[in-house]
Amino acid sequence: MLPTIDALKPHFQSQNFNVPKLQFFDGERNVNHMLREYTPLWRESMKEVDSTWWGYQDHIFVECYMKWLERVWKHPSQGEKIKLISNRTNLEKNLEDRVLHRSIKYISKKAEFTTTVWVLGSYIVMIFTRAKPHYAFQIHDGLFASNLRTVSKIMWEDIAKA
């Protein structure tokens, strides 16, 4: 066995080691499939943590996947909250009071998000919708999600509601 493998082997045998699961979804049809199929799983995972959708999103995602969003908003899980940071757009302004459990704060006018990243319990979901084909990654890893949730909470607290 190579010395590198010997050095890494104990980490893979540890009780605390969990191999992250990464999935890739290519194209609008597959991204839609991911959104429909995994929403219940994300919600169950969120309930174990804090029932909050954390992260940031590109407003283009909202434009492209409004039908899915409307279904999600119409039937929230008990106690579910949405706390996202987004680009300052007319679309986001028009949606502000439409969903009671959805809170949006805006990134500085000097910057713009070009992707969407959510932390949903032990899942991290990343979606790109600025060009075709749309694509998404889903990572199932509690440790990464916990750290990214902490970063999201810090960003949330540091941004003044506009």
* Run of H or E including 53: strand 52-57
Tell me the pTM.
0.87
In the block, which residue shows the tokens 């932390």? 119
Q: Are 53 and 83 in contact (CB under 8 A)?
A: yes
What is the SS3 assignment for 56? strand
List strands edge to edge, sheet with 135-140.
21-26, 135-140, 123-128, 116-120, 52-57, 81-86, 102-106
Q: What is the CATH number of domain 20-158?
A: 3.30.870.10
d(CA 21, CA 103): 29
Tell me the domain boundaries of the chain: 20-158
Per-residue pLDDT in tens (0 to 9) along the chain, 162 residues: 455 556 555 555 555 667 789 999 999 999 999 999 999 999 999 999 999 999 999 999 999 999 999 999 999 999 999 999 999 999 999 998 888 899 999 998 899 999 999 999 999 999 999 999 999 999 999 999 999 999 999 999 999 754
* pLDDT at position 64: 97
* pLDDT at position 20: 86
Residue by residue, DSSP assigns 90-151 as HHHHHHTTT-TTEEEEE--TT----SEEEEETTEEEEEE-SSSSPEEEEEE-HHHHHHHHHH
